[in-house]
Every structure is written in structure tokens, then in C-alpha cells.
A and B are shown apart, each in its own frame.
Chain A
Amino acid sequence: MESINKGLIFEEIGKQLDISPTMYKLAVERYTAVAEYLEENDLKAHFYPQGSFRLGTVTRPIRNGIESDYDIDLVCQILVDKNNTSPSTIKNTVGNLLRKNKRYKKILDEEGRRCWTLIYAEKDGIGFHLDILPSIRESIEIIESLIKEYNLAPRYAESAIAITNKNKIDNLYNWESSNPNGYGLWFDEINKSFYDLVEKSTRKQIYENNRDIFASIDDVPPQLIRTPLQRVIQILKRHRDLRFNGHKLEDDKPISMIITTLVSQIAKNENCLTTDIFVLLKFIALKLAQYAILLSNIEISQQQYAVIKRDIYTGKWYISNPVNPAENFADRWHENDNRKAKAFFQWVNWVYLDLIQNMDKPGFDINSLKNVLGNNVVEKANAKYQSLLLQHHNDCMQSSSLSTVNITSPGKPWG
């Protein structure tokens, strides 16, 4: 009886959603070039990636139902004291430098609320949107209040930054607080136990499949090694993108930050460990589904470690930013009769039906994932999966007793 290895299918699907090692290298080259250009023009700053590129949860975006360019977020943290500058200076220093360069001027998008975006069209049709986020170190007062008033661990608080926000109505700039590096550190700490489990075998696999770009196994950067936790986040993000595409709740679909935070928070609270992506997804989806009761019953006892909370009196929802407890990712969930909350739990239910129940039933057909994870992606992943099965089958023929348990002096069931 050959049962389908669901974890392996998800691994292959995850690889299709991910950025390839070649594209990763290209993306790093692109943003390093921008950083070097800005530094050469006397901008004193640190440059580091944030968001899914930093977290290792890059998922090929869907725009209007079709797969499109990768989003890469780069923090440009300018080395100047918050007291000696202003948000408009910070934002426009970067913008002006980019416009001064002929190449960048051509690919610079119109000014965003917080970022400058360079749009790279690469040769094989897949491009990048490089979002450059001008910022500075957060003020000492705010960092200290995060530690003292919100009990945030200093190792997170210290990397808080101030980012700029351009108001749509009056075009004035103001500061906002953010902490992409602290969030990355928080995520890495949770991801570590999974990373340690899969690092060796994954590194070897990446090397063997990309000998043209890596000189040795050690040459494979840790940023390319994906854990089951990262794969689960990638799959959930893609499932969200497709499930809400064209749906009446599309504008209320859960943001990536919420998905990433909840999945990681559950893994952290439960201290769970596995190498199987399907098993982890199932575990986390069932935990998330338990919170759906908050839609109808606010007064249900909410434990200290609940990842989604509701205020008994106001009905407001809370999903706090783990590195900025003052920030609530769900601050608008109660609006319009809890529309965003309903969209979230509708999605959790879809995850359960499309990915768990569907895949657990006997006779599960891999093609049934095409609607919810993408035609192309599932097609390619399935081809890879089939060839792996064939290879595995051949390996087993050579050493047929490899994993057989030899029962020699059996016990007897009792009771």
C-alpha cells in the first residue's frame, strides 16, 4: 500500500512558491548595488532586508490572479540622531539620491507612503519590486519605554527604528515606530529548533541542485534553508492569496504579518517540533480554528497564552506585535460587524477543508490543490514529487530491508 507523502508534496510546493537560489543571488546583488550607490554618495546608513525576504517566507505574489514579481524589502537605516532630523528630510534624502542616478530614475515608482520602490524587470519575466524603507534609530526615550512600560526584552527593543509616513491628505510627513530587525530576531529564535533539525540535509540538497552557483556545501547561505515552519507560512500565504482572489471579502483578507505572527506564536507556545510540513500545518490550523469561538462568545475564558484575544467589554480584537506590544495587528477587526475577523476565520475554515480534510481522505488527488495553491505551482511540484518517488523506489530496491523492523521475540498484546 503506497500512501501519499503529504509532507513531501508540501515541500515541493513550498519550493515552487519560494524564490529560487539564482533569483535570491540576483536580488542580493541588486540591493547591494543600491546600498553601495547610496553610500558612495555620502549617505551614512545600515542596509538590511526585512519582511518575508528577511524571514525566509518569500511567497511568489499573486496580482489579479496571476503570479507576479517578488517583493523585496530593504531597510535603509540612516545614521543620524532623531533629534537632529525630520521625517521629510530622511525620506527625501533617499528619494533625491535615487532620482539623481540615471538607471534608478528610470525604474523608480512614484513615491509610496513609507518607501521608495524600484521596479526591476528581469530577463525571464520574473522581476523584483525592491521597496527601500528610509529610517533612523528610534529615540532612546521610546526604546526605554518599550523595555520598562511594555516589558519588552532589551534584545528586541534595541533595534527599534523610526520610519516615515507621508500623509495622503496633507502630504505632510510624520514618524512611526517599527522594528523589523527585532521581529526577525524573535522569529529566528522560534525557527531555530526547526532549523537545527533540517539544516544539514537541506543544505546538502540545495547544494546538489545548484552546483552551478555554489562552490561548496558551506557556500549555501543559511537564508536559503527553509524549515517546516517557514514552509507552512509560505503555503498559508499562497492559499490566502488564491482563496480571496475575486471574493467579496478580498479587501479584508488577513495580512501576511498576522499569518506569520500567529503561526510562529503557536509554534512558540506549544514548543512543537517536527520535520513534516503537513503535520505542522495540520497542528497549527487546528489550533487557529479553536479561536473561531471568539466570534460568537466573547466571554469564553481567554488564557494568558491565547494568540488572539477579545476585549469582553468593547469586543475589540487583539493580536499583538511580539516586538512592539503597543501595536495591535487586529485593531480594525471589529469594524463593520467584525468583518476582518469573519474573513480570517472563514479562511481558517478554508484551510481546514482544502488542505487538511481534503488531503487526509483516502484517494486524495494532488490536482485538487491546483485551485487553492496555483495551477503552475502544483503542476511543477507534482512532477518533482513523482520523480522523487521513482528515485526513492529505485533506492529501496537496492536495499530492500533498509527500514524493515525485524520482529524476533514478539510480545503478546494483553488486557
Chain B
Amino acid sequence: MNIKEVIENQFKELIKKYPSFILYWEDDIGIVKGELNFKALYNGVVIADTYTIKIEIPSTYPSNLPMTKEIGGRIPLNFHRLANDYLCLEVPTKMKIIFMQNPTLLFYVEKFVVEYLYGFSYKEKFGRLPYGEHPHGNAGIIDFYKELFGVTDINSILKFLKILSNSNYRGHHLCPCNSEKKLRNCHGKTIRELMQLDIAYMFRFDLDVILRSKTNRF
């Protein structure tokens, strides 16, 4: 099956639940456009809402994730957005890790887009975000790795990222988390699982970003 067929089949699954979408192609990029009519529940609060969105699916999908824009003019520019108006649904590496559990359009829409839009609708209603937000930029990336490894020390994060970006796992070395244990008896399982995702380039990217922000700061 070529990638267009993969996307078409995933689109068919998507419109069974969210029928107001159209799929078409701009060169090799698949475009899914239309109204996302959702009902979502978090902590006992149900929100039903409608947004007009445009999802762009790259020809490198599913290795590279789709990108989404809100095109109905509801979400202001200062709410989490990237360059070119794409919505910042999550830290990219985290998104990728989650997406690879179930790399389908329906999962992408419900896990990332609906969650994001639920958050925005919630904020419109109650004046605050329901589940917090990552700080903008590098601090947000560091935040994510603090959560991922359960550490607070930035040097530990850098050491973990070095291992991951070089796929250089040594079980008998001391674990970077300062536990004084060997890696294989400490964070070893987490690291090995992350290495299996085959996204060393994403860890290298994050490592560079954090290193650059460090040099700038000191």
C-alpha cells in the first residue's frame, strides 16, 4: 500500500466518527479540512464544541506527524501556536512518542487536536486551562524531559539525551540521574524503550536546543 492509500484508509476511519471532513491533495501533501464537532470529558466536565480545522499530512507520514491549523478564526494568535499558524499541540518529541503507540489520523485528532481544542474551549468558559500548559520554547522542552525521566537536574537530562541521540547505551555505566545505581538497574528500561522508537534525530535536536539555550544563558 502506498502512503496515499494509507492516508485514505485512515481518513475513512476518521469520517465514520467525524463526518464533516474532506480529504484532498496539494502536491504530495494530504489535506483534511472541515468542521471538527466533538464532545470530550475531562475531570467530570463535558464540553461539546465545533472548530474549523485544516490538517496537513506530509508525504513522510507517519514518520512525520501531521500539522494542524484552526481556520475558523476562533483561537487568538497569542494562544499556543508555531510559526505559520500551526497549533502547538504538544512538545514534538512527546507527541511523536505518544503517536507511535497508535499512528492513525483518528488517534491524532482525538489525542492531540481534541485535547487542545477542549483546553481552549475550557479556558473560554472558565478562564483557565484545564490541564496546565508547557512554558513556551526551550523551557517547555526541558519541562517535558523532567517529566519523562522524573528528574529535576538539567545535567541529568543532557546526559540522558546524549545517550539517546547517539544510541549509545552502556548498562554498566552509572545512571545519569545521580542515583549512584548502574543504568541497567535504574533508568535502563526507559532508555531502551525510547531507543526502540528509532527517533535519535529528535533527541539530538532537543539536545542541541537545550545546549544552545544554556550557552546563551551563561
Q: Is the CB of B90 within 8 A of A412?
A: yes
**B137: chain A residues within 8 A (beta carbon):** 415
Interchain CB contact (< 8 A) of B20 among A271, A276, A407, A410: A276
Q: Is the CB of B21 within 8 A of A407?
A: no
**A404: chain B residues within 8 A (beta carbon):** 39-41, 46
**B111: chain A residues within 8 A (beta carbon):** 411
Interface centre among A275, A278, A412 (most CB of B within 10 A): A412
**B116: chain A residues within 8 A (beta carbon):** 413
- Interface range on chain B (Cβ under 8 Å from partner): 35 or more
C-alpha gap A115/B132 in the complex (Å): 72
**B38: chain A residues within 8 A (beta carbon):** 405
Given that A405-B39, A414-B136 are known contacts, is A275 also in contact with B80, CB under 8 Å in the complex? Answer: no
Whether A215 is near chain B, meaning CB under 8 Å from some CB there, is no
Closest to A283 in B: B22
Whether A79 is near chain B, meaning CB under 8 Å from some CB there, is no
Whether A300 is near chain B, meaning CB under 8 Å from some CB there, is no
Q: Is the CB of A407 within 8 A of B48?
A: no
- Interface range on chain A (Cβ under 8 Å from partner): 20 to 34
Q: Is the CB of A413 within 8 A of B17?
A: no
Closest to A403 in B: B39
Closest to B46 in A: A404
Q: Is the CB of B91 within 8 A of A7?
A: no
Q: Is the CB of A270 within 8 A of B24?
A: yes
Closest to B21 in A: A274
Q: Is the CB of A413 within 8 A of B24?
A: no
Q: Is the CB of A413 within 8 A of B90?
A: yes
Given that A404-B40, A406-B41 are known contacts, is A415 also in contact with B94, CB under 8 Å in the complex? Answer: no
**B135: chain A residues within 8 A (beta carbon):** 414
Whether B148 is near chain A, meaning CB under 8 Å from some CB there, is no
Whether B23 is near chain A, meaning CB under 8 Å from some CB there, is yes
Q: Is the CB of B40 within 8 A of A407?
A: yes
Whether A280 is near chain B, meaning CB under 8 Å from some CB there, is yes
Interchain CB contact (< 8 A) of A405 among B22, B41, B132, B133: B41
**B115: chain A residues within 8 A (beta carbon):** 407, 410-411
Q: Is the CB of B34 within 8 A of A413?
A: no
Q: Is the CB of A414 within 8 A of B90?
A: yes
Whether A3 is near chain B, meaning CB under 8 Å from some CB there, is yes
**B95: chain A residues within 8 A (beta carbon):** 411
Interface string of A5-26 (1 = CB under 8 A from B): 0010000000000000000000
| Interface of B: prevailing SS | mixed
Q: What's the nearest-Cβ distance from chain A to residue B2, in Å? A: 13
Closest to B72 in A: A360
Q: Which of B87-131 contact A (CB under 8 A)?
A: 87-91, 94-95, 98, 110-112, 114-116, 118-119, 129-131
**A412: chain B residues within 8 A (beta carbon):** 90, 131-134
Q: Is the CB of B24 within 8 A of A283?
A: yes
Q: Is the CB of B23 within 8 A of A274?
A: yes
Q: Is the CB of A279 within 8 A of B41?
A: no
C-alpha gap A337/B95 in the complex (Å): 58
Interchain CB contact (< 8 A) of A271 among B25, B49, B136: B25
**B187: chain A residues within 8 A (beta carbon):** none
Q: What's the nearest-Cβ distance from chain B to residue A389, in Å? A: 14
Whether B15 is near chain A, meaning CB under 8 Å from some CB there, is yes
Q: What's the nearest-Cβ distance from chain B to residue A17, in Å? A: 21
Interface string of A51-72 (1 = CB under 8 A from B): 0000000000000000000000
Closest to A267 in B: B24
Q: What's the nearest-Cβ distance from chain A to residue B202, in Å? A: 14
C-alpha gap A411/B19 in the complex (Å): 25
C-alpha gap A275/B98 in the complex (Å): 29
Q: Which of A256-273 contact B (CB under 8 A)?
A: 270-273
Q: Interface of B with A (CB < 8 Å)?
A: 8, 11-12, 15, 17, 19-25, 33-35, 37-42, 46, 48-50, 79-82, 87-91, 94-95, 98, 110-112, 114-116, 118-119, 129-137, 140, 144
Q: Interface of A with B (CB < 8 Å)?
A: 1, 3, 7, 197, 270-276, 278-280, 283, 401, 403-407, 410-415
3 A-B pairs with the lowest CB-CB distances in the bound complex, closest first: A415-B88, A414-B134, A274-B22
Given contacts A278-B20, A280-B22, A411-B115, 18 further A-B contacts (CB under 8 A): A1-B49, A273-B11, A273-B12, A275-B19, A276-B20, A279-B20, A279-B22, A279-B35, A404-B41, A405-B40, A405-B41, A405-B118, A407-B118, A413-B88, A413-B129, A414-B89, A414-B135, A415-B136
A-B contact pairs, 19 of them (CB 8 A): A3-B37, A197-B15, A270-B25, A278-B20, A279-B35, A280-B22, A404-B40, A405-B118, A406-B40, A411-B111, A411-B112, A412-B90, A413-B87, A413-B89, A413-B90, A414-B90, A414-B140, A415-B134, A415-B137
